[in-house]
A and B are shown apart, each in its own frame.
Chain A
């Protein structure tokens, strides 16, 4: 047995497609995808719109139920979890979403947002939770007084730092991120990617990082999965996929990226 934290076994998701009498096929948003992520590694999933990359991630987050196939985390089928096991899964696996503005309750302070996971899982008392929040704010590069601010008082980059903080405050094993830097300016994106990378290493996290941006995926991933029309078209080590792509679609995708380094190398 290899040390796979996440195993996605021939997962398929069909949207729509109902009716016993008039059978319609529906949309195969994800079509028979098998992937795994080893402990401490980051899998990048890249694809264009409609490729099924976000649907796949949401199935791994237990937000969308697969039509068929299974998702295992630490060997357990996440769709069969109940009670205490399910709660443990919710602690072990944490999401980061694209739009930081809509992933927080605007009426809560940053302190409330960050201590909520601790409360839900009954960790610590009020003082120790606050101490943990303060320490984490510092770790993600925000001032202490951010604890009393509200999301709208923070910039997009600061909000995404809070999203990272919230994702790691329970010391999870796995972080699943969906386009976490796509809404950010490039200079802020660089800072948030650096932070993500540092924290991932510090905590030994296993991660899946979904993005439409090949260059971002290249920066953060050990393994890369290329998706198109719901199917996995290429899957391998990052250096192999970018250096020696096997599939025509991957080649097309890489050739289409406008990239300044191409020009810089030519000069």
Chain B
């Protein structure tokens, strides 16, 4: 990756620190007409404690598959062909399905793109948000319902006690995404994996959700793996970024370095192609 300059230092990668998440040489295959075709090739990435790491790529780049593999939530047609995934000192690929169920929510949580689809439409929001406490703590759902109010309050929902009794459809898109984040935080996991969590939101609401994620990192030290197609979001939120294309990581670096001095043609093209509110876009002259 060339020589490291002072602004390309990985500040969270202190000597002796153990990565919250470490993916090494991950390859994923997809079954198409009963033939296994490689779609993610030799991906290595890590998320250090308290770090917000972006994975940016266009559709089909493998960014979401790589994240789902870390949660062992690959769709049925996909499988890990090789590689290692470690969550702290846990070998994720060696866990049983039962062990994985204990880890998800507890040690890492997923914040999906479409909160409305992820929420149960027939269950009150408060109960859903507190459900991880019941599932993992072995307590009755009613006994943990009070915690929902605190969680909803923590993600900035006004009148949380009242809103806990609402159903998902009564929430706006931004509130639904806040509720998903609250659910993710219920068991205080060390890692949040956020897959385009603000893509479906209006820009002013997106800004609020990004603020919330920043606050969570600062106040709780939670590590965040942030999957996105939006360079602007990476610039505003992330410490370190991996650029993916066609199932491979083509470049990685500190956000400051990637934006100041992108090395790879593809990264330069992405930067040139992304429209900006600050003056006209240069004609990309793209092939």
Contacts and interface: CB of A to CB of B under 8 A. Distances in A.
A179 B234 CA distance: 23
Nearest to A191: B286
A109 B233 CA distance: 39
Interface residues of B, number: 39
Nearest to B198: A258
Interface in A149-192: 185-187, 189-191
A256 B208 CA distance: 9
B123 interface: no
Given A187-B270, A191-B284, A258 B278 contact: no
Contacts of B235: 258-260, 262-264
How would you classify the secondary structure of chain B's contact residues: helix, strand, loop or mixed? helix
Contacts of A261: 276-279
A190 B58 contact: no
Contacts of A242: 277
B162 interface: no
Interface in A242-261: 242, 252-261
Contacts of A214: 203, 277
A187 B273 contact: yes
Interface residues of A, number: 33
Contact of A186 (B173, B210, B229): B229
Contacts, number: 111
A260 B234 contact: yes
A212 interface: yes
A174 to B, nearest CB: 23
A189 B279 CA distance: 17
A231 interface: no
Interface stretch (A15-23, A77-85, A122-130, A215-223): A215-223
A265 interface: yes
A189 B229 CA distance: 12
Interface of B: 7, 58-59, 173, 202-204, 206-207, 210, 229-237, 255-256, 259-260, 269-281, 283-284, 286
28 contacts: A185-B58, A186-B58, A186-B273, A189-B275, A190-B274, A190-B275, A190-B286, A194-B284, A212-B203, A215-B277, A216-B275, A218-B275, A218-B276, A219-B275, A242-B277, A253-B203, A255-B207, A256-B207, A257-B232, A258-B207, A258-B237, A259-B235, A263-B235, A263-B236, A263-B259, A264-B235, A264-B271, A267-B7
